[in-house]
Amino acid sequence: MAEVLASGMLDNDEINAAISGARRNHWIQLTEGKMVTTPLADVQSPEEIFLSRITDIGLDSTNLSVENKKVIENLKKRPEYLVMKEVKYPQISISEIGKMILPMIEREKSKERKLTSELITSGKWKEVEFSALDVEAPAPAVYPGRRHPLVDIIEEVKEIFVGLGFSEIDGPVVQSGFWNFDALFTPQDHPAREMQDTFYISGQRQQIPATSEQKRKVAEVHKKGWSTKWNIKEAESMVLRTHTTPVTLRHLAMIKPEVGRYFSVGRVFRNEKVSYKHLIEFHQVEGVATAPLASLRDLMGLQKEFYAKMGIKKVKFWPTFFPYTEPSLQSMVYNEKLEKWVELFGMGIFRPEVTEPLGIKNRVLAWGGGLERIAMFRFRLHDVRELYGNRLAWLRSVPRCQL
């Protein structure tokens, strides 16, 4: 002990702790002012015995004697001396229910899970039993390919038109000012022709795609009707069409049918600020019907028939104004879901100023409007932009059939 104390390996705190510990265990005693070891010092203490039992892999402390438990408590008092680790050993054992169905499982083990090609062709399927499946559990979600819901409506509208005897026509989205405005009796200083409402293609002009006779006659009608100088440069500008009417009008001017029914569905453009109810680009449908004695009441009838085929029964008509039709009517339909009247298609008879210069002799009934509105009602959307967001959460969930 004297050597240990003199070696300098222990510092003063440790020396004091060692001495008091040794005295407590009666390994040393103070005799005549000197510290001497006792015979007990040579006997192995319970701690020492215990420590010799701890191997590299540790000692399981769960089933120890009371005495050894005391030893551990003592050793734990020493800082950073013993490390206690909790080790979990999971144990699995069969429960009561398990014991009950054990015989069933034993029987299942002998059943086949898969009907393999081998079993079929070898005939062995006759000799085996097949296990049952949990047919009540749901399966992983898969999503069918799908037409866009707005296209569902567009196709439905096309079918209705075809059913009413209308043939489809299509035309360019980029139109000359001539066909988009001038031929439709819209004066050249009309506010709708300004850049704030209409998209002009930058730096593009074109020779008006019309015969010189058509150009001359339209110019005349403008001078007479609007008393403003007609500027051919305005007519040569190129715009993104603001309605599909230039397409139907050009078709009629080209074919000049005695009787005919035509329709067109396509995109139109308005230079607006995009909002929850306005888009700058949307789908418009337009129908024209021409016959020698086509009348306003016929036009109302066509509307009613069209709406009836869309499932709309309550329709009313109000007078309104469009630059190229006279008389003009607005239709209001009753929306059962919203329980209110909403404005839908506009209609009218093409003005003589529109048809005469193009040599269209018979009366032309025309009507049309935007389709996004119908889509918003049907799909209960509150923001028209959702129709073009292409969010799969919506596309994957819209039912194909609205019952």
Residues of span 185-224 touching other proteins by CB under 8 A = 189, 191, 195-196, 199-204, 206
Using rule CB under 8 A, residue 354 touches other proteins:
no
Pick the closer one to other proteins by CB: 24 or 273: 273
Using CB under 8 A as the binding rule, whether residue 278 contacts other proteins is answered as: no
Structure tokens at 266: 């396509």
State which residue, 95 or 227, has the beta carbon closest to other proteins.
227
Q: Which of 174, 234, 309, 377 binds other proteins (CB under 8 A)?
A: 174
Task: For residue 100, state whether it binds other proteins (rule: CB under 8 A).
Answer: no
**Are the CB atoms for 303 and 345 separated by under 8 Å?**
yes
Binding-residue total with other proteins (CB under 8 A)? 90
Distance CA 226, CA 95 (A): 96
- Give the nearest distance from C-beta 109 to other proteins in angstroms: 36
Could you give the count of Cα atoms lying within 13 Å of 343 in the half-sphere of its Cβ?
Answer: 10
Stretch that binds other proteins, among 59-67, 81-89, 99-107, 310-318 (CB under 8 A): 310-318
Give the pairing of strands 237-240 and 174-176: antiparallel
The H or E element containing residue 18 is helix 12-24
d(CA 388, CA 366): 28
| Cβ burial 104-129 (10 Å sphere, 16+ → b, else e) | eeeeeeeeeeeeeeebeeeeeeeeee
Question: Hey, which residues between 49 and 88 contact other proteins (CB under 8 A)?
Answer: none
Q: Read off the tokens for 311.
A: 């499932």
**In the complex, least distance from residue 380 CB atom to other proteins, rounded to whole angstroms:** 18
Selected binder of other proteins within 53, 233, 297, 337 (CB under 8 A): 297
Give least dist CB 387 to other proteins, A: 7
Residue type present at position 133: L
Residue 243 or 261 with smaller CB distance to other proteins: 261
Q: Is residue 372 within the footprint of other proteins (CB under 8 A)?
A: no
* Beta strand residue intervals within 278-358, DSSP E: 281-291, 315-322, 325-335, 340-350
User: How many CA atoms within 13 Å lie on the side-chain side of 289?
Assistant: 21
DSSP type of residue 101: H
Minimum distance, C-beta of residue 144 to other proteins, in the bound complex (Å):
7
Question: Which residues 323-342 are close enough to bind other proteins by CB under 8 A?
Answer: 323, 326-329
CB of 236 to other proteins, least distance (A): 13
- Using CB under 8 A, which of the segments 73-81, 108-116, 167-175, 243-251 binds other proteins? 167-175
Nearer to other proteins, 69 or 146 (CB): 146
Stretch that binds other proteins, among 29-37, 95-103, 211-219, 264-272 (CB under 8 A): 264-272
Nearest to 218 by CA among 362, 354, 349: 354
